[in-house]
Chain A
Amino acid sequence: SQQGEEDPQALSIQEGENATMNCSYKTSINNLQWYRQNSGRGLVHLILIRSNEREKHSGRLRVTLDTSKKSSSLLITASRAADTASYFCATAQTGANNLFFGTGTRLTVIP
């Protein structure tokens, strides 16, 4: 399987705190993406980082990528109750459109 893995599987924090989740993957990639899934809904794209980038920001999101370690992290700063969701990383190999998803981190932000 080419699936990656997220760590931790579940994370519970207080509103206002930062949340960090990690993703490890197995193969060389073209880009890595993070998606969010609210309970009972489809996935929504959050951010994409290319293999030649090391860090990317979007609003309260910060993503890092270390291709030598085949790992990525997603940081959500100043979390809100509305951030409660599952977060998935997904990798794309060079020349391919297919995405391979990790197992997800379930984030709960307590008001």
Chain B
Amino acid sequence: NAGVTQTPKFQVLKTGQSMTLQCAQDMNHEYMSWYRQDPGMGLRLIHYSVGAGITDQGEVPNGYNVSRSTTEDFPLRLLSAAPSQTSVYFCASSYSKGTAGNIQYFGAGTRLSVL
């Protein structure tokens, strides 16, 4: 199994550009989420989804959109990139129920710089 796959690994954008960060998982997990990681601040939840067709906001949703048309894919869209969105972005997935609880499996991350 590939687990959670994120693309691209690195990206440089200019202010105002838009882009989509891709995330795919092959574990049939219902729950998927996006985090950003900034120095000294740990991980902060951007958006999450508890199943196909259902999304909701996390702690820091402004400037980002998500959709969940399939169980496998959960893309994150930056509508108009700003320097404050320079960060490392992680996608994660988990089962939503059962003894596995909400143990999350992470992708390798996307390092984004906005100039």
Given contacts A33-B103, A48-B103, A97-B31, contact A2 B108 (CB under 8 A): no
Flag if B106 contacts A43 (CB, 8 Å).
yes
Residues from chain A with Cβ under 8 Å of B101 in the complex: 31, 48, 92
B74 within 8 A of A: no
- Docked Cα-Cα span, A77 to B50, in Å, equals 37
**Which of the segments A12-20, A56-64, A66-74, A101-109 contacts the partner chain?**
A101-109
Flag if A97 contacts B41 (CB, 8 Å).
no
Q: Give, as a whole number of angstroms, the nearest-CB distance from B9 to chain A.
A: 10
Given contacts A2-B59, A42-B108, contact A104 B42 (CB under 8 A): yes
Chain B residue with the shortest CB-CB distance to A104:
B42
Question: Count of B residues near A, CB < 8 Å?
Answer: 27
Residues from chain B with Cβ under 8 Å of A2 in the complex: 59
- Docked Cα-Cα span, A44 to B96, in Å, equals 18
Chain B residue with the shortest CB-CB distance to A46:
B103
Residues from chain A with Cβ under 8 Å of B92 in the complex: 43
Provide 26 A-B residue pairs closer than 8 Å at the C-beta atoms, listed in order of the A residue: A2-B59, A3-B41, A31-B101, A33-B103, A40-B109, A41-B108, A42-B4, A43-B104, A45-B103, A45-B105, A48-B103, A88-B42, A96-B102, A97-B48, A97-B94, A97-B96, A97-B102, A98-B48, A98-B58, A98-B102, A100-B45, A100-B59, A101-B35, A101-B44, A103-B40, A103-B42
6 additional contacts (CB under 8 A) given A2-B59, A97-B33, A98-B58: A43-B92, A44-B106, A48-B101, A101-B42, A102-B42, A103-B40
